[in-house]
Amino acid sequence: MDGENLEDDGYLKVETIFSKHAEAPHVMDFAVVLRRYPEDDDTPGPALAHLKGFIFQPGHLPEDNEDEGYFDVFDERSQHAAIGYRILVNDRDLVAQALKKDADLDELTAVAYLERLWVNPSLRGHGIAHRLLREAQHVLGRPGLLVMVKAHPDDFNEGANQKLAAYYQSEKQLRFRQVSKKHEGWLVAAWQDPVVSEKDESFLDLDVRETPAIDENE
């Protein structure tokens, strides 16, 4: 799709943003964002969907609780991130088993943690979450990269984690694997290549128009 086919009231564009961590040189924050741009104006509107996280590239995965540098990076982010670190350390064998068909855990040297995925409620049901995840896979993919995410929906109820995890896993290109039943909703993947999906353009053409909304959990 090219710019000539975009709607008269603007166009939707997927963008990726990287920024250096202020205190940790091996950490970079990233965001994959969907925004509407008005015609003939470079000033975008508010985010209509976003995937945010960080990538930590120390050259190894944590092996025990003595690795304070690793723990500090994850612990400062959120409770979920701290739990992710504990899974890497205390249940390394489960992570290795989950990745068995895709990678040797001992050869992975960096972690991308996907912290927050949100889509404007009026745009849900159009595959936007998968689109953002595929974009992240494209721009983050590199040899030795382990990806972790906790499927944790905002509208939480019994079985919600499993349902969202199943949705993430339904996009086979992403190769998400469930860590174990012990860790409900936790998924891992080895993104060792910058996979390019030919169906993914920078611009989205949707048959719906969004209504104003913000991510209240930001």
What count of other Cβ atoms lies within 10 Å of the Cβ of residue 75? 14
Report, as an integer, the average pLDDT of 116-139: 97
- Between CA 115 and CA 51 the distance in angstroms is 8
Is it the case that residue 25 has pLDDT exceeding 80?
A: yes
pLDDT above 70 as % of the chain:
95
Closest CA to 148 of 64, 87, 78: 87
Contact 52, 115 (CB under 8 A): yes
For residue 165, give the H/E element and its range: helix 160-169
77 or 40: whose pLDDT is higher?
77
pLDDT of residue 65: 67
Q: Is 186 helix (H, G, I), strand (E, B) or coil?
A: strand
**Residue 42 confidence class, pLDDT cut points 50, 70, 90:** confident
Residue 139 parent element (H or E): helix 128-140
What's the average model confidence in pLDDT over 60-69? 82
Comparing CA positions, the residue from 18, 72, 77, 13 lying closest to residue 43 is 13
Q: Identify the DSSP state of 106.
A: G
Q: pLDDT value at position 5?
A: 41
**In this predicted structure, what is the pLDDT of residue 137?**
98
* Torsion sign, CA atoms 191, 194, 199, 204: positive
In the prediction, which pLDDT does 113 show?
A: 98
Whether pLDDT at 7 is above 50: no
- Between 168 and 41, where is the model more confident? 168
- Nearest-angstrom CA–CA distance, 161 and 167: 10
Say yes or no to pLDDT of 43 above 60: yes
Tell me the pLDDT tens digit for each residue of 83-115.
999 999 999 999 999 999 999 999 999 999 999
Work out the average pLDDT over 175-185.
96
Note the Cα 205 to chain centre separation in Å: 22
pLDDT value at 192 more than 60: yes
What local confidence, expressed as pLDDT, does residue 66 receive?
Answer: 67
